[in-house]
């Protein structure tokens, strides 16, 4: 499946993919309008929401209510490179979360496909196409 990238004005960049248009912008401090998440913010969000999807799927499969479950993602950056060096995702469950599923839900979360791609990154080739 291909993705089409366009520039609708200012520092906004849009991606059309899978029948959706995903809008991005830069923060006001970086010359954007702050009208949408930055591309890097979407990258971080993809890690959290992918992990959340695997937790949700596990709970649905095992008839575990999800109303009192939430995840928090913590991103530690290298002060020199400003790159994220560590991501910790905490799965918060209520006291009545079934003991027998505590390790299993963590294992399910660990299956996140975004995480697995980061651990085995694809090759990214960029080339100029004229005409």
Whether 49 and 23 map to the same domain: the answer is: no
Q: Do 82 and 46 have their domain in common?
A: yes
Separation CA 63–CA 65 (nearest Å): 6
Shared domain check, 50 and 15: no
**What tens digit of pLDDT does each residue of 11-39 get?**
999 999 999 999 999 999 999 999 999 99
**Cβ–Cβ < 8 Å for 71, 90:** yes
pLDDT of residue 119: 96
Q: What is the pTM of this model?
A: 0.92
The verdict on residue 126 lying in a domain is: no
The tens digit of pLDDT for each residue in 68-85 reads 999 999 999 999 999 999
**Containing domain of residue 62, as a range?**
38-119
Same domain, 13 and 45: no
1 has pLDDT over 90: no
Asked if residue 70 and residue 13 are part of one domain, the reply reads no
Same domain, 31 and 85: no
């Amino acid at each position: 499946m291909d993705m089409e990238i366009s520039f609708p004005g200012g520092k906004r960049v849009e991606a059309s993919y899978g029948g959706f248009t995903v809008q991005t912008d830069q923060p006001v401090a970086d010359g954007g309008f702050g009208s949408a998440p930055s591309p890097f913010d979407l990258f971080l969000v993809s890690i959290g929401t992918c992990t959340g999807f695997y937790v949700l799927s596990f709970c649905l499969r095992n008839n575990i209510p999800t109303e009192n479950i939430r995840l928090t993602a913590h991103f530690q950056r290298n002060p020199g490179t400003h790159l994220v060096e560590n991501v910790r995702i905490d799965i918060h469950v209520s006291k009545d979360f079934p003991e027998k599923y505590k390790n299993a839900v963590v294992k399910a979360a660990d299956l996140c496909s975004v995480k697995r791609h980061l651990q085995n990154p694809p090759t990214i080739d960029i080339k100029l196409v004229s005409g």
